[in-house]
Each structure stands twice: as C-alpha cells, then as structure tokens.
Amino acid sequence: MGQLVDGIWHDEWYDTKSTGGAFKRDTSRFRNWVTADGAAGPTGQGGFKAQTGRYHLYVSLACPWAHRTLIFRALKGLTPHIDVSTVHPDMMSDGWSFDTDFPGATGDTLFGSAFLRDIYLRSEPECSGRVTVPILWDKQTDQIVSNESADIIRMFNSAFNDLTGNDDDNYPATLRDRIDALNDRIYDTVNNGVYKSGFATSQKAYDEAVHPLFDSLDWIEGILSENRYLAGDRITEADWRLFTTAARFDPVYHTHFKCNRAWLREYPNLWGWTRELYQWPGVAQTVDFAHIVRHYHYSHPTINPNRIIPINPVIDWDKPHGRGG
C-alpha cells in the first residue's frame, strides 16, 4: 500500500492522523471520457472515440469500484470490444501487482508490467496520487482515459451503443434526479461508508461512519419493500452501484470492517434484491469471492496483521430471490 509522489513510489498507509482518525478518499485524477464521436465529455479532454479493441480495462476482482465496470462491460455487450487485465488480490507494499500466482490474476496483458503503478507512470511519468483500480486505458494514444469508476460506467452505458447495438439505458433521462439523489447518499454512507468504518483509527470516526451506514441500510430496506428496484420498477445504475458493496457485505465488511450491527442477509428485501442482481444474466461471472475474501483480509495489516482468512458464512447466492412476484 502506498502512493506516487512526483513519479516516485512511497510505501505508506492511509494518513488518518491529520483527520482525527477518519479515512478520506482522494478524488480521481484522470477524468476524460470515451464518447461516441470523440467529442469531449463532461470533464477532461476530447479525442477518445468509441472504437472496438481500442480500450483496455485494468481491474481487481476484489474491488467494488472496479467490479462496477466489469458489470457494465458484461451488461452492455462490451466484452468483445474491451479487453481486461486483472491484478493479483494481494495489495502489498508495492501496491497492486501483476503477479499471476492466484487463479484469475492475468498479469498485465498489454505491457507485461510488474505493478499497476507502472501503468500510471507510463501515462504520466511525474504522476502523483494513489494507484487505484479501475483504469480505462487508451491503446491508441498510450494513456489513461479515466480512473473513476462512476464515469467509466456512464461511458459504457451509452458511448459504445452504435458498436454493440445494445441501447439498454441504466441512466434514463426521466430518472436522473432520482438516481443522482440515491447515488449521493449511497456513495457517502454505504459504498464509502464501509471503508470509512473499517479504516477509521478513532472511535469517533468509526461511530460517525457506522451509524449512517446502518441508517442507510434501513432506508434502503424500506425502499425495496415497496419497489422492485431502487429507482422504481426498472433497474438502473443506482442498483448496480449498490450491488457491488452489497455482495461484499457479509463475506467481508460485516466482520473485517466492523460493520456488524446486522448481516445484510437479515434484511429480507435487500437480501432478495442482492440475489436477484447476482442472478442477473452475465453478472455471477463477474463476482469472484476468492479474490474478494483474500484481498481484504490479506492486504490490510493495520486491521488484520496476521493475515488470517476467516471461515466465513456459507451463503446460497443461487437461492430463488423471490422478488417481483
């Protein structure tokens, strides 16, 4: 675990001393957009036209943010158009590595690099900041397009439609206000809330994260008791963004990150909804519990210094979800 400062790797854990024990997530650095015609997107530079084979995705199968991009790649028929390299689940003193001695860790299939930071340095030799997955890489101009998963799933949702013929819309214009409001609360208190709880190094910071997390799970349970999906009767981006956290909740966050007021599977509607999304065509193939369980317990020495992988509950992900009847 570490970060780049002016192109030099520094091996250091998250700084929580300056924030009273609270984990603060950095904003992502590369914010360009692939668009259908190559025009600039909402942020960054233009010049990234949607083309088959041009872009490459770097992911960790453990990471909930990278997982979103794999789900959108599957749902939107992008698998033949965008290839993928998968890092090793153990994130050690050199950060994410391209070691291949774990099933499903592919190495860097583009350049054969040793570490994920080599991809950042290839794009920007004097780069500063955290070395995170996912990364969307442009083979044509040899640079990172984006390292922000929220943006990458929006690009995947629409930019490649002419190539794939898939116009399923997970961010429909009529529901955008609703989706944005859901995303705001769920990002802060749930997707990031589990990390804020788990990485807190003071009681106060933990308390300030874990109570809003469970308040939000109660609120979500209420929504899902009256609606099939978060924004109503159709599935949207808001559901997929929550799903990757929900899938990791009982295997990891409940125990490892001390999010243990309840198990996710104690919320009947949220648990049924999570299984429905897991069982959605193409999605189970993007979920890898071996990477998920291994990564968190192995890579956070401040939380789990002996790297013992817990036994974990046996969860029947394929049990009929009972939603929508």
Q: Applying CB under 6 A, what is the total number of residues that bind ligand GSH?
A: 15
**Least distance in Å: CB of 92 to ligand GSH?**
11
63 among known catalytic residues: yes
Q: Which of these is catalytic: 63, 127, 206, 278?
A: 63
Which residue in the set 49, 54, 130, 258 belongs to the binding site for ligand GSH (CB under 6 A)?
A: 130
Encode 77-101: b = buried (16+ Cβ within 10 Å), e = exposed: bbeebbbbbbbbbbbeebbbbbbee
**Least distance in Å: CB of 241 to ligand GSH?**
10
Interacting span for ligand GSH (CB under 6 A) from 35-43, 99-107, 130-138, 242-250: 130-138
Indicate the SS3 state at residue 97.
strand
Indicate if the alpha-carbon torsion angle 32, 60, 196, 240 is positive or negative: positive
Q: In 99-148, which residue ranges form alpha helices assigned H by DSSP?
A: 117-123
- The answer to whether residues 292 and 64 touch, using CB atoms and an 8 Å cutoff, is no
Per the structure block, which two tokens stand in for 34? 């692939």
Which residue in the set 41, 89, 134, 198 belongs to the binding site for ligand GSH (CB under 6 A)?
A: 134
Q: Which of residues 50-89 bind ligand GSH (CB under 6 A)?
A: 60, 63, 65
Per the structure block, which two tokens stand in for 15? 């700084």
| Residue 105 touches ligand GSH, criterion: CB under 6 A | no
Other beta carbons less than 10 A from residue 264's beta carbon: 21
296 among known catalytic residues: no
- Please identify, using beta-carbon distances, which residue of 134 and 198 lies nearer to ligand GSH: 134
How far apart, in Å, are the Cα atoms of 121 and each of 106, 142, 204?
20, 11, 37
Catalytic residue IDs:
63, 195
Q: Which stretches of the chain bind ligand GSH, using CB under 6 A?
A: 1, 28, 60, 63, 65, 95, 130-134, 147-150
